[in-house]
Amino acid sequence: MIVNTNTIYDLAAQGKRLDGRSLTDYRTPVQIETSISWTAEGSARVQIGSTIVMAGVKLSLEKPYNDTPNEGGITINAELLPLSSSEYESGPPGIKAIELARVVDRGIRESKAIDLKKLCIAPGEKAWFVMVDLITINDAGNLYDVAGLAALAALKSAFFPKIDPETGAILYKEKTAVPLPLVKEPLPITIYKINGKLFVDPTKEEEETYEARLTVASDPDGTLSAIQKGGDMPLTVDEIAQIIDLALTKAAFLRGILTTHYGKALHH
């Protein structure tokens, strides 16, 4: 679809969008599925509008880093698959994939969402390392929120695999009943500024039009754990304050859907 940037701009001035939503509404549906992949220790598929991201958690046993001998670790990786958009090409992650992974990573890392000490099995020798892969299935805009929610949902659904008591090898096909030590539930929300107005959940066309964006990762209690500004234009301090308020409201909205999902999952 070819959309005139000016149209998006002009509509923004009137507080309107091409698809008729209010500036701060998410597209529908907002759908969360978890444990979608039996081979992952935890996994999720999140869909907002027609944007779809899958997240998978794999665990491995490694030697802890020298400066943190009592801790395991976590890494987030993102793959913008050529399957998910004609814009993406095969090959190693480009800067767009790296920024997406890093922004989601920092929200989780800086909030200390996972108690890394609890991942340690033998100090200085062996600890669990958590790898979260974020895989785009269909990029129709707002990968940041969709990927952030998918990462959290996948981590929430993850259980440790068993370890062979004799060989110490990981028995990946046998999961324990022990969930990952997820002590915080950070969620990154990205707010976009288009023609001076604040937008939630941009479509692909809106993403191509924005002046600035700010990703705000927060815990359920409102503590901010990571922030990243993007885009070509500056933001005023007033705008930043407004964005944070809006991001916290939207985080609560998505968190509510996640809670409902887990409420239902528990009753299965």
Partner 1 sequence: MVYRKRLDGRKIDELRPVEAKVGVVSNADGSASFRIGKTWAIAAVYGPREIFPRFLQNPKRGILRCHYSMMPFSGSGERIRPGSNRRAQEISLVIQKSLEPVVDLSAFPNAVVDIFVELPQTDAGTRCAAISAASMALAVAGIPMKDLVSSVAVGKVDDKVVVDLDYMEEHIEEFNPESAAASVADIPVAMIHNTKEVTLLQMDGKVSKEDLIYALELAKKGIEQVYATQVKALKAYFPSE
Contacts to partner 1 by CB under 8 A: 36-41, 43, 50, 52, 54, 56-58, 60, 77, 79, 81-86, 90-92, 131, 133, 135, 137-140, 170, 172-173
Evaluate the omega torsion of the peptide bond into residue 82 and state whether it is cis, within 30 degrees of 0: no
CB of 182 to partner 1, least distance (A): 17
First-to-last C-alpha distance (Å) of the chain: 42
Which C-beta is closer to partner 1: that of 55 or that of 194?
A: 55
For residue 45, what are the β-bridge partners?
A: 33, 54
Which C-beta is closer to partner 1: that of 168 or that of 196?
A: 168
Which C-beta is closer to partner 1: that of 85 or that of 228?
A: 85
CB of 28 to partner 1, least distance (A): 14
Q: Which residue has the tokens 């913008």?
A: 80
Q: How far is residue 221's CA from residue 246's CA, in Å, rounded to a whole number?
A: 15
CB of 91 to partner 1, least distance (A): 8
Which C-beta is closer to partner 1: that of 41 or that of 185?
A: 41
CB of 150 to partner 1, least distance (A): 12
Sign of the four-CA dihedral 63, 69, 72, 75: negative
CB of 23 to partner 1, least distance (A): 23
Which C-beta is closer to partner 1: that of 30 or that of 140?
A: 140
Q: How far is residue 233's CA from residue 95's CA, in Å, rounded to a whole number?
A: 19
- Cα→Cα distances 239→144, 244, 245, Å: 20, 9, 10
